[in-house]
């Protein structure tokens, strides 16, 4: 059902049971899937592809023109998966010719006033907190949480199941399964609470902790740590995910806490 007081362009493709509140604006070249709700004063711009059962709250702006001086009006998209919520006044820019699209996965929560810039890729089941500001080309993998007021530098990668604490300045990549905190941002232990909530056993969490002891607690550089991990620890999906993430990091991963806080176990400090 759509409201007569909303502006809906005749070329927009709206599933029959989408609900659009008064004063929302739906422009041309927009597709909205079944069961989605669009709140009043939300603006859905050209290039938006919104999945099923999403909730777009008042004042949110989806698929706005990128805030990138290199953008030259090329045809790009913003793709949002199913069952994702975008809260009040959040903004999601469409892509540029670098990747041609900005993607937010399924089951995500983008909280109020957050900004997801051009060419970002947010995985499934992620939470982006209130007023998080993500620059262009940021990658956030599945089940990651970026807490409120954090700023994420362009091209940063945030690994799966990781947790970034509130008001963080994220200038380096955050490896999977970890907690990131402090200034400058550094390793604060394993995201054990999040992992338990998602069904990881205590034994698997200990295995992940052992992987990161090589990286952050033995005084090894990354190349040495990865070599020892592959030689000394048994193969597992988690081991390979950590190794591949670090090996492919272009900005470098967040630092060890010992560079700032001296000796001690970050699992206890976090």
| Whole-angstrom distance, CA of residue 29 vs CA of residue 60 | 18
Residues paired with 109 in a beta bridge? 85, 127
| Whole-angstrom distance, CA of residue 33 vs CA of residue 221 | 48
- Put the strands of the sheet holding 139-140 in their side by side order: 13-14, 31-32, 48-50, 77-80, 101-104, 121-122, 139-140, 157-158
With H, G, I as helix, E, B as strand and everything else as coil, classify residue 44: strand
Q: Known catalytic residue: 136? A: yes
| 83 touches 54 (CB < 8 A) | yes
Q: What angle do CA 263, 258, 248 make, to 5 degrees?
A: 140
Residue owning tokens 């902790």: 209
Active-site hit among 119, 141, 142, 173: 119
The bridge status of strand 77-80 relative to strand 127-128 is unpaired
Q: Known catalytic residue: 115? A: no
Q: Known catalytic residue: 240? A: no
Active-site hit among 27, 41, 115, 118: 118
With H, G, I as helix, E, B as strand and everything else as coil, classify residue 115: strand
| Whole-angstrom distance, CA of residue 190 vs CA of residue 181 | 12
Active-site hit among 33, 47, 95, 136: 136
Report the 3 state secondary structure along 49-68: EECCCCEECCCCEEEECCCC
Catalytic residues: 118-119, 136
């Amino acid at each position: 059902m759509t409201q007569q007081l909303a502006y809906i362009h005749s070329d927009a493709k709206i599933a029959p049971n989408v609900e659009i509140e008064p004063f929302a604006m739906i422009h041309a070249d927009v597709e909205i899937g079944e069961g989605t709700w669009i709140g009043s004063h939300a603006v859905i711009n050209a290039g938006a592809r919104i999945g099923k059962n999403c909730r777009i709250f008042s004042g949110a702006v989806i698929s706005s023109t990128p805030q990138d001086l290199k953008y030259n009006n090329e045809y790009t998209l913003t793709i949002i998966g199913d069952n994702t919520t975008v809260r009040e006044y959040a903004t999601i820019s469409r892509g540029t010719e670098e990747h041609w699209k900005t993607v937010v996965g399924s089951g995500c929560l983008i909280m109020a006033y957050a900004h997801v810039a051009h060419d970002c890729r947010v995985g499934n089941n992620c939470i982006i907190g209130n007023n998080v500001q993500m620059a262009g080309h940021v990658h956030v993998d599945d089940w990651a949480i970026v807490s409120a007021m954090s700023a994420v530098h362009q091209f940063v990668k945030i690994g799966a199941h990781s947790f970034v604490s509130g008001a963080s300045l994220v200038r380096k990549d955050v490896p999977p399964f970890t907690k990131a905190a402090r200034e400058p941002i550094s390793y604060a232990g394993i995201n054990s609470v999040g992992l338990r909530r998602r069904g990881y056993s205590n034994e698997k969490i200990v295995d992940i902790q052992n992987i990161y002891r090589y990286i952050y607690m033995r005084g090894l550089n990354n190349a040495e740590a990865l070599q020892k991990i592959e030689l000394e620890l048994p193969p597992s999906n988690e081991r390979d995910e950590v190794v591949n993430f670090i090996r492919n990091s272009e900005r470098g991963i967040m630092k060890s806490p010992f560079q700032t806080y001296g000796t001690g176990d970050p699992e206890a400090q976090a």
